[in-house]
Structure 1
Amino acid sequence: MTKIAGGLERAFAARGFTEPSVEELRDAAGVSLRTLYKYAPSRDAMVRLALEHRHQRYLSHIFTTPTGSVPQSLEDTLDRVADWMRTEASHGCLFHAAVVSAPTDRSLRSLLERHKAEISQLAASQAGNDVTASDALVILEGLTQAWPLAKEAALISAKRLAALAKRAAVAH
């Protein structure tokens, strides 16, 4: 199942959600069409499977270090998000792209909302009293959305905003 989900994720990340044919998705998943449809009986199911896989990989990449410990500050988290953007998502957020490709699909919107809520809550909880989940959401989203245009400058700005949020939290 992980092999299928990973192949689908790579195909959608590379070609978008409307471009790859079912045959291309089958080839990317490395299985027969019958097996692909067994685990994902529709294109919508394939998209959801790919996004769930992406969510788990993102959580692991951002919130687990090679030693198994977790980043302790929002700045550490921002560095890991920038690393993800450099290697995995230079064109922007795959969850946002999915919603854009099917704007009336409530299940995709729900996946996007759950993904962003979980990420921002984890980032805020690791940062302690430095930022709220809402602060973390805005800073992380700013970084991921600005990355395709500004690259490293987006990381510098995100870190500056995180420092301002931390100072504001300490002042209150």
Structure 2
Amino acid sequence: MSRMTDYQSQIDAGLEQAFATYGFAEPNIETLRKATGVSLRTLYKYVPSRQEMILRALEYRHHRYMAHVFAETTQPDGMSLEGIVDRVDQWMKAEATHGCLFHAAVASAPQDEKLRALLDRHKAEMAQRTAEVSGLQGHEGEISIIIEGLMQSWPLRGPEAVTAAKTLCAILLQVNRPSSGSENS
């Protein structure tokens, strides 16, 4: 890995952690600089504005989230929808106890088109990838509602939210299970 890539990863990881810890309004530039472990000059060399810092932090988080949720989906049989819910639950416990960082970012700057586009892309990729690995292509909307509902209710409901999401997964799977037997004409 090159020194430039090392700095980029270090900066992105530090920014993600700072925004996850302090939110998007609170941390001043010195707090962000300390979180990255680089000089102010180096920080601005790699990330020239606060908006860019937020976007880079969220992009970094997106990649970590997707890697966590879909870590073992190279198997030919994919992954169950309930297994994905379990991975999202693990993520929430470890990384997002206060809720979705993407939604928090958009809430802090609702007119920011770039933030909204990043949120939309993150959520669409999550739903699409979940549909692919669970064999539910064409049901990205339903999957999105289940996963988003889980993430939004998890900070208040925890295990109850996971149980409810799994119930909805079972209903989605049951409704979309091919019927067995033939119909009479």
Q: Shorter-normalised TM-score: what interval? A: over 0.9
AA aligned opposite 1:89? A
Q: Compute the displacement of 1:131 (Å).
A: 7.0
Percent identity between the aligned chains? 51
Deviations 1:105-130 (A, max 9, x none): 00000000000000000011111038
Alignment of 1:8-47 (within 5 A): 8-47=15-54
- Residues 69/32 of structure 1: CA separation in 2 closer, same or farther (3 Å cut): farther
Structure with larger Rg: 2
Counterpart position of 2:81 = 74
- Residues 72/80 of structure 1: CA separation in 2 closer, same or farther (3 Å cut): same
Deviations 1:60-89 (A, max 9, x none): 000013x96595111010000000000000
Matched, 1:111 2:118: yes
Matched-pair contact (CA < 8 Å) for 2:92–2:151: yes
Once residues 16 and 130 of structure 1 are traced to their aligned partners in structure 2, the CA distance between those partners, rounded to angstroms, is 35
Alignment of 1:82-121 (within 5 A): 82-121=89-128
TM-score (norm 1): 0.95
Counterpart position of 1:161 = 168
Matched-pair contact (CA < 8 Å) for 2:80–2:133: yes
Q: Compute the displacement of 1:146 (Å).
A: 0.3
Q: Compute the displacement of 1:170 (Å).
A: 1.6
Matched-pair contact (CA < 8 Å) for 1:99–1:105: yes
Matched-pair contact (CA < 8 Å) for 2:128–2:137: no
> Aligned to 1:170, what secondary structure does the other structure show?
coil
4+ aligned runs moved over 6 Å, structure 1: none
Deviations 1:11-44 (A, max 9, x none): 0000000100000000000100011111110000
1:142 aligned to which of 136, 149, 154: 149
AA aligned opposite 2:95? E
Give the unaligned 5+ runs of structure 2: 1-7, 180-185
Once residues 131 and 124 of structure 2 are traced to their aligned partners in structure 1, the CA distance between those partners, rounded to angstroms, is 11
Once residues 69 and 23 of structure 1 are traced to their aligned partners in structure 2, the CA distance between those partners, rounded to angstroms, is 45
Give the unaligned 5+ runs of structure 1: none
2:62 aligned to which of 51, 55, 70: 55
Once residues 159 and 131 of structure 1 are traced to their aligned partners in structure 2, the CA distance between those partners, rounded to angstroms, is 19
